[in-house]
Chain A
Amino acid sequence: MPRILLVEDNEMNRDMLSRRLQRRGYEVLIAVDGQLGVEMAQAELPDLILMDMSLPTIDGWEATRALKAAAATKDIPVIALTAHAMSTDRDKAIEAGCDDYDTKPIELSRLLGKMETLLGQSGGSAGPTQ
C-alpha cells in the first residue's frame, strides 16, 4: 500500500482528498503546514508527497527545496498542488524541485494518473493494492 504524505493547511481539502485516496487503497499521512511536512517526510519517508504550495510556517516551494536538498528525501516524488493556475506557478514549482504539478480544483482521475506514473518511476508499486 503506497504511503502518501498530504501537506495541506485547508481542513476541508485535507479531509476530502485523504478520504478519497484512502478509499482507493492509499495510506495517507497528514501534515498541516510546511515545516511539519518536512519533518514528517524525514521521519516517515513516504512513497510520494502531495504538497500544497500556499502553506503557513514555510511555504510549499521552500519545503520542497528543503526535501530535495536532503539525501534521505531527495528521491521522494513531490506533486505540487495549487489553486493558482498561472503558467508561472507551474514553472516555479518545477524550479523548486517538484516532480509534477496539478491545479485545484483537483480532478481526481488526473491526479491519480500523475501519482501512479511517479510511483512507478520511483520503484514503488504504480498504485494501491485493493
Chain B
Amino acid sequence: MTVANAIVVQNLTYSYGEGALRRPVLKGVDLTIKAGEIVIMTGPSGSGKTTLLTLIGALRAAQEGSVKVLGQELAGASQRQMIQTRLDIGYIFQQHNLLKSLTAAQNVAMSLELRDGLTTAQRRDMAHKILADVGLADHVDKVPAQLSGGQKQRVSVARALVAKPKLILADEPTASLDKVSGQEAVNILKKLAREQGTTILLVTHDYRIHDIADRVVELEDGIITPAKPA
C-alpha cells in the first residue's frame, strides 16, 4: 500500500476528564506528514505532544476530528482495527521497555512473532541482522540487565525497525541517555529508516538531535504553531 501521506490529522480535539473537570489537551490539531518524512515535534511539557502521539499510534481512541494513519481512519475505529494499525507502527519509548526475561535477539523477535509465514530460524536471522546493523552483533544473547542504557535503547530501535514498519513513533528516545549514546541511537534510527523509506514522528526536547529531521513542528497549548524550517 503506497500512501502519499503517512499521517493526516485534521481538527483533532481531545480532552481528559468528565464534566466540570473536563480539561482539553488538544484543541484542533492539523498535521500532515508525508510518507518517508522525518518530523520532530517539540513543545513545552503539558502541550499535548504525548497525547497526540498515542492517538496517532492507535493506543488511544480519538474523540473528535480525524486521525488518518497509513490510510486508516482511527477516529471511531474498532479495537480490532486499532490493533491491526499498531502492527504497521514501530514504537520507541523514553524508557527502553524491553522484556527483562528475554535476550536482545528474543526481544527483537517479539516484533516478528505477530507476522505470519516466518520460521523460527528466519525470525532469529532477521533479529541478528538488525542487531548487527545497530552495532550490537556481539550482544544478541544478553538480557537487558547486561546492557548499558545506550545499548538497550539501540535494542529497542532494532525492535521497532525489524518488522519494517511504515511508521516509527518515538517519544523522547534520548531522554534517559547521555549525549553520545543518544546521538548514536538517533543516527542509527535515521540511517535505517531512510534505507527502508520509513516515516518517523519523533517527540523530543533534545535540540541536539533536531538536525536529523526534515521538518520540526511545534505543539503549543493544544495546537500546532506555524511550521519552522529545520
Question: Is the pairing of A and B real?
Answer: no
Give the B-binding residues of A (Cβ under 8 A): none
Chain B residues in the interface with A (C-beta under 8 A): none
